[in-house]
Amino acid sequence: MTLASGGCSGAGPSAQRATEQARRSESTSAPVAPATGRAPLGTRALAIGAKVSVDLLALDRVSPTAVVARWRVRNDLREDYSFSASLAVPWHSADIGSNAIGGVSLLDSAHGRWYFPRAYRNGDCQCTRGWPTVKAGQEQELVAVFPAPPADITQLDVIFPQAPPFLDVPLGEAAPTPLRVDDGGGDPVDPNSSRVGEPVVLSIVNQVEQAGAAQDDDGRQVSVRLSTDVLFAVNKADLSPKARTVLKDVAAQIDRSRGEEVAVDGHTDDTGSDGINDPLSQRRARSVQNALEKLVTRSGVIYRTRGHGSHEPIASNENARGRATNRRVSITFARPAPEPAQPTPAATAPAPASPSPSTTASPVLGTAPVGKAPDIESDRSWPRRAEVRINELTRDAGGYVNLVWTIRNDDDIPINAWSSSYDWGGVYAEASTSGAALVDGPRRYRPLRDAKHNVGVGPYLLSVLRPEYLVTKGEEYTLWAMFKPPADVRSVTVQIPGFEPVADLPIR
C-alpha cells in the first residue's frame, strides 16, 4: 500500500502539533508575488472550521504547456496555523519533493485526469516550498505551476487538500511572469522552464461494487474483480450456482467492448502454501474463462488466463476483509461502449460550484446519528453522542460528484477522523477518506482514486497532525471525497463509516 510522504502522521501526542509548528515557523515559505486585482474565484473553509480559509485567486494558462494556480490562506485564529505535511504529495515520489505544497492538484473530470505540480528533474517543485505556517491574524499566498491540459479544456476542479474542492473553475489566460516559491533567497521560478521533468498526470479510477463484484473503470479499460467466495466453494474451482448470474453481466460488457483481448487472472490470499494457492488460482481462472466462452456472443475474443496465487495482493492480508478482497478473479478488457441513455426528467439548474467569498456557514442537506463502529474501532471506543452532517452533494460539469460532510462530536470519547474514515480492507492507500460511499439500489459507488498509487481523491489525512483530525468533545471536522455515479442517478444514500446512512439525498 502507498503511504503519504509527510512523516508527521497519526500517532503523536497532543504536544506534537505545537512542537511541529514551532519548528516549521523557522522555515515558513515567503509570500509569492501579488496575484491579480481580480476578486477570488471562490473561498473554502479548512477542515477545522471557518477560522482558517483559503481563497482561490487565479487559475491561468500561461503557455501551451503550463497553468498557474494561486491561493491565499487567511488565519483568523489566535495562534499560528501550520499545514505540516498535509499539502505535500501524498505518496513517496522521486518526481515531486515532499518539502513543498506538491499535493495541490487539478482535476479534469471530463477526461479522468489528475494533474500535479511540475517539478525540476531533481524533484524541486515549481510550487511554494516548505510546509507553510500562517501567522495568527495574517494571510499568506501560495502558488503552483501545473502541466497544461489539452487546449480544448476550459475549466477544471481545483484541489486544495485541506478544504473541499473548487468545482468547475474557468481556466483563464495570463502572462508567464516569474514566481517566487522559495524563502531561501533563490531565484524566481520561470513557469515555462525547459528544465522541468516529466509531468505527473494520473488516470482516475471509478470503483463500483455490487453482489460480490467490484468494477474498476479508468476510462480506457474495465477490470471486474469477482470474489472467489461468491464464485467457488472453499478450496474448489467448480463455479457455484451464483456464478453464472454474475458472469452473465460481465459477458454482456465484453460483448459491447471493442477490444480483442480479455485477461482472466486468478488470485488467493496468503493463507496456505504456494503449492496449494498457485494451481488453485490457475484452475479458478480457467473455470471463469470456460464460462465466459459460452456466455460471450461476439467472435474474435482472445482470452489470456493466468493464476498468481497469493503473490499479487491488492489489500492487506492482516485482516479478514483484506484477505477477502485478495481472494478474487479479475477480468480485464477494453472499456465497453456506453449503453443507450434512457430518457430522464429535465435536470434542475446546478447549485453554485463553490461558496462565495462571503460564505461562512455550510448548508446541511441531512444528518445522521452514530451507528455501528467502523471496522478499525470497537463499540466501546466509538462515541454514542455524535452526528454527521452532509453539507454538499454536487455534480461538476464532467460528472464527478463532490461529497462534503462534517463530523460533530458531543461525547467524551474522541473520534479519530483518519482511521475511522479509511477503508482498511480495500485497495485504497491510507491517505484519504476511502470508507465513504454513495448507494443507489444494489450499486455502491466508492471514492475516486488514481490508477498508479491508489490514493483517493480527498484530503490526505495520513499526513495531517493527529491533534487536528482527532475530534474531541464539542469539536467539528469537515471531510470530503469525490465519486462518479452515472448521470441518470439523481439521488443517493450517503454512507459515512460509524454513522447511520443518510437516505434519499439529491445530487445537485
Residue ranges of E strands in 130-173: 133-134, 139-147, 155-159, 166-170, 172-173
Of the candidates 260, 310, 254, the one whose C-alpha atom is nearest the C-alpha of residue 281 is 310
Residues 24 and 100 in one domain: yes
| Residue 311 counted as domain residue | yes
Statement: residue 23 has pLDDT above 60? no
What's the mean pLDDT in 167-181? 94
Q: Pick from 199, 228, 246: which residue ends a domain?
A: 199
Instruction: Report whether 196 contacts 187 (CB < 8 A).
Output: no
Q: pLDDT category, 198, cuts 50, 70, 90? A: very high
Statement: residue 342 has pLDDT above 90? no
Of the candidates 456, 460, 448, 445, the one whose C-alpha atom is nearest the C-alpha of residue 494 is 445
Residue 280 belongs to what domain range?
A: 211-334
Q: Which amino acid is at 191?
A: P
Q: How far is CA 44 from CA 71, 100, 102, 393, 470, in A?
A: 11, 21, 19, 15, 21
Q: pLDDT category, 378, cuts 50, 70, 90? A: confident
Residues 374 and 405 in one domain: yes
Q: Across all residues in the chain, what is the average pLDDT? A: 88
Q: What pLDDT score does 290 carry?
A: 95
Residues 181 and 96 in one domain: yes
Q: Pick from 199, 223, 247: which residue ends a domain?
A: 199
CA 304 – CA 313 distance, rounded (Å): 20
Number of domains comprising the chain: 3
| Residue 117 counted as domain residue | yes
For 246-314, give the DSSP string: HHHHHHHHHHH---SEEEEEEE--SSS-HHHHHHHHHHHHHHHHHHHHHH--SS--EEEEEE-TTSS-S
Question: What are the φ and ψ backbone dihedral angles of 106, each rounded to 5 degrees?
Answer: -125, 140
What's the mean pLDDT in 332-349? 64
Range of lowest pLDDT (8-12, 202-206, 494-498, 499-503): 8-12
Residues 190 and 215 in one domain: no
| Cell 491508489 sits on residue | 454
Q: For the domain that residue 305 is a member of, what is the CATH number?
A: 3.30.1330.60
Q: What pLDDT score does 242 carry?
A: 84
Q: Pick from 147, 177, 199: which residue ends a domain?
A: 199
| Residue 410 counted as domain residue | yes
User: CA dihedral in degrees (472, 50, 468, 183; nearest 10)?
Assistant: -160
Residues 192 and 45 in one domain: yes
